[in-house]
């Protein structure tokens, strides 16, 4: 049936389509590897006598905790949710303007990022970056994924949204429901996780005392994470 055989021109067109189809098949992998994934940091390798205080979410705005952060000049990393400063941004403006704290990225809506595709993760992470920038004029450089849950897409998304690391933690020393975790022996480079909850002032006092006892001082995490 010679008349059904593709003419040379049609064959050339088919051949031209084939590489496109192959490209289409490999594109998602290429997208996952670009931009270059950021490192995941749960503690910092350093010989400096330092610990890192990080405080998440931002829902409860205790004036006593803010006073302590300012009085003790704690260079805390604040992983804030835009919704938690929408109703009282002054609390955090004071911390950032009058002390050495910095605002970092904790997404917009606090999802488990591993349940989202790359586009969904990007909306959460770049969205929070844009909100912080608009409110505080300071773009976050560290991403703490909610629940500490991340995957390969989170590490490339972090880079695409201006972060240089995905940051988890060494010790969660938050008091929850009246239960305070046992005191660890803090070591140089440890990252301590706290939350803006009702017990932040006492949790902070305890962490600062533990740091003192170990001969460590709080240092700014952003400056200890390489570009």
Give the interface with Zn ion as residue ranges (CB under 5 A). 56-57, 146
Q: Is 89 exposed, middle or buried (0-12, 13-18, 19+ CB in 10 A)?
A: middle
Least Å distance, CB 57 to Zn ion, is 5
Question: Closest CB to Zn ion among 169 and 216?
Answer: 169
The secondary structure of 12-44 as a DSSP string is HHHHHHHHHHHHHHHHHHHHHT-SPPPPEESB-
Least Å distance, CB 148 to Zn ion, is 9
Question: Closest CB to Zn ion among 125 and 216?
Answer: 125
Q: Give the CB-nearest residue to Zn ion.
A: 56
CA-to-CA distance for 219 and 221, rounded, in angstroms?
A: 6
CA-to-CA distance for 179 and 191, rounded, in angstroms?
A: 20
HSE-up (13 A, CA, CB side) for residue 176:
7
Least Å distance, CB 55 to Zn ion, is 10
Least Å distance, CB 168 to Zn ion, is 12
CA-to-CA distance for 222 and 219, rounded, in angstroms?
A: 9
Question: Closest CB to Zn ion among 186 and 193?
Answer: 193
Question: Closest CB to Zn ion among 50 and 58?
Answer: 58
């Amino acid at each position: 049936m010679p008349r059904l055989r593709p003419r040379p021109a049609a064959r050339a067109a088919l051949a031209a389509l084939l590489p496109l189809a192959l490209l289409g098949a490999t594109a998602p992998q290429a997208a996952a590897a670009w931009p270059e994934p950021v490192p995941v940091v749960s503690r910092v390798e350093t010989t400096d006598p330092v610990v890192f205080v990080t405080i998440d979410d931002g829902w409860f705005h205790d004036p006593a905790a803010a006073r302590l952060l300012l009085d003790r000049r704690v260079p805390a990393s604040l992983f804030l949710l835009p919704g938690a400063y929408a109703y009282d941004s002054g609390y955090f403006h004071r911390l950032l303007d009058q002390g050495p704290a910095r605002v970092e990225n904790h997404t917009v809506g606090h999802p488990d990022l591993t349940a989202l595709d790359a586009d969904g993760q990007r909306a959460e992470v770049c969205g929070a970056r844009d909100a912080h920038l608009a409110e505080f004029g300071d773009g976050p450089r560290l991403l703490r994924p909610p629940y500490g849950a991340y995957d390969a897409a989170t590490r490339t998304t972090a880079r695409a949204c201006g972060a240089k690391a995905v940051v988890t933690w060494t010790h969660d020393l938050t008091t929850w429901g009246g239960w305070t975790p046992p005191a660890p022996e803090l070591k140089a480079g440890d990252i301590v996780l706290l939350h803006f909850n009702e017990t932040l002032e006492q949790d902070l006092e305890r962490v600062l005392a533990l740091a003192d006892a170990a001969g460590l001082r709080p240092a700014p995490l952003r400056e200890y994470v390489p570009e």
